[in-house]
């Protein structure tokens, strides 16, 4: 796993330090809930941790390879709903990303399964769309600033999480 000591806050949106949040799952600790696994997987997409993503994907649906080199810049995650019943779980989330051409979102209802005490991502029903934030709306990057004072300014580079 690449060393990720320069990230102060976890990209998953928990407002916790990365070292106290998803990093422990990336290092091998078992995620206790489907939501915790979903958050850790989002953070793994941000950090391009392909090995972790594959390891947390159920073997019945796991891709043989991942190439995250051309993936978008994932900037924020919002959990819309999460539930766990026995050894199955569902997480409904919205993830915001940025491409050179603008902003987009991925909204998904994800299914998880627990085997041998460990949660795995099984499959999802995704829906993607274009996101067009207004100048006075909160910036989709999660900074808390208005869009016009953050990422809209001169095609500004996205701020790092935290």
Domains and CATH numbers, the chain: 9-149 (3.10.450.50)
* HEC letters along 7-60: CCECCCCCCCEHHHCCHHHHCCCCCCCHHHHHHHHHHHHHHCCHHHHHHCECCC
The Cα–Cα gap between 90 and 108 comes to 10
Q: Quick one: pLDDT at residue 133? A: 85
Q: In which element (H, E) is residue 89 found?
A: strand 88-99
Q: Quick one: pLDDT at residue 122? A: 98
Split at pLDDT 50, 70, 90, the class of 11 is very high
Tens-place pLDDT, residues 129-161:
998 888 898 888 777 888 888 887 644 444 344
Through-space distance between the first and last CA atoms of the chain, rounded to whole angstroms: 21
Higher-confidence position of 4 and 27: 27
Q: Quick one: pLDDT at residue 6? A: 66
> Strand, helix or coil at 158?
coil
pTM of the model: 0.86
pLDDT at 32 over 60: yes
Tens-place pLDDT, residues 50-103:
999 999 999 999 999 898 988 899 999 999 999 999 999 999 999 999 988 889
Q: Cβ neighbours of residue 156 under 8 Å, at least 6 residues apart? A: 150
Q: Quick one: pLDDT at residue 141? A: 79
Q: Quick one: pLDDT at residue 152? A: 75
Q: In which element (H, E) is residue 4 found?
A: none
Mean pLDDT of 47-52: 96
Mean pLDDT of 20-34: 97
pLDDT at 29 over 80: yes
């Amino acid at each position: 796993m690449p060393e990720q000591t320069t990230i102060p806050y976890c990209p998953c949106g928990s407002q916790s330090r990365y070292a106290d949040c998803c990093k422990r799952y990336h290092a091998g600790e078992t995620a206790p809930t489907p939501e915790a696994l979903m958050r850790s997987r989002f953070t793994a997409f941000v950090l391009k941790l392909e090995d972790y993503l594959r390891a947390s994907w159920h073997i019945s649906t796991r891709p043989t390879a991942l190439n995250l080199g051309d993936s978008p810049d994932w900037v924020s995650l919002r959990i819309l709903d999460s539930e766990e019943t026995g050894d199955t779980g569902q997480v409904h989330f919205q993830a915001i990303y940025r491409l050179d051409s603008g902003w987009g979102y991925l909204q998904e209802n994800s299914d998880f399964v627990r085997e041998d005490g460990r949660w795995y991502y099984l499959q999802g029903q995704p829906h993607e769309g274009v996101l067009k934030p207004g100048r006075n709306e909160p910036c989709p990057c999660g900074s808390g600033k208005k869009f016009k004072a953050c990422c809209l300014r001169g095609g500004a580079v996205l701020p790092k999480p935290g």
